[in-house]
Amino acid sequence: MNSHELFHTLHQLSRHLTNKLNETLKPFGLYSAQWAVLYTLMNKGSLTQKELSDYLFVEAPPMTRTIQRLVKQGYVKQVPGKDKREKYIELTEAALKEFSKWEQAVILNNQTQLKDLPEKSQAELIQIHSSWIKHLL
């Protein structure tokens, strides 16, 4: 397999998984980009928009749009930092209340996507990803 084919295949897999996740989140009025922000904030706590962008590998304009949508939905709030230009993004009580419902739906989606992939292969994928990402960062 040449590198072009590998990257094309990875991109196709990523698109498929994103589409399936979007279908899962649609009843909640959420998309995968929003879920990524919500999940990150739940696990890492309050972060600046720049920290979120860097962690999720998302450029500033789409991150701004995602955060604005989440603010409008009442799931995140922006809290001023020490510097007037710096704003921290935090989950709201509404998001904390709904989070377990969203997470259960995502877990079920993930299990469905992985049902035909043996656990050994899953472990190998995690190892390959961890090793590769260390070299990229």
Q: Are strands 76-80 and 47-48 parallel, antiparallel or unpaired?
A: unpaired
Domain coordinates of the chain in residue numbers?
3-136
pTM to 2 decimal places: 0.91
User: 98-122: per-residue pLDDT in tens?
Assistant: 999 999 999 999 999 999 999 999 9
How many C-beta neighbours within 10 Å does residue 72 have?
9
Give the mean pLDDT of 75-103.
Answer: 94
Higher-confidence residue: 62 or 87? 62
Q: Give the model's confidence band at 83: pLDDT under 50 very low, under 70 low, under 90 confident, else very high.
A: confident
What phi and psi, each to the nearest 5 degrees, are found at residue 18?
-65, -45
Q: Which helix H or strand E contains 87, and what residues bound it? A: strand 87-91
Mean pLDDT, all residues of the chain? 94
**Is residue 88 pLDDT above 80, yes or no?**
yes
Q: Give the model's confidence band at 75: pLDDT under 50 very low, under 70 low, under 90 confident, else very high.
A: very high
**Is residue 1 pLDDT above 80, yes or no?**
no
- At residue 85, the pLDDT reads 82
**Is residue 137 pLDDT above 90, yes or no?**
no
Residue 87 corresponds to which tokens in the numbers above?
């704003």
**Is residue 31 pLDDT above 70, yes or no?**
yes
Classify 3-136 by CATH class: mainly alpha
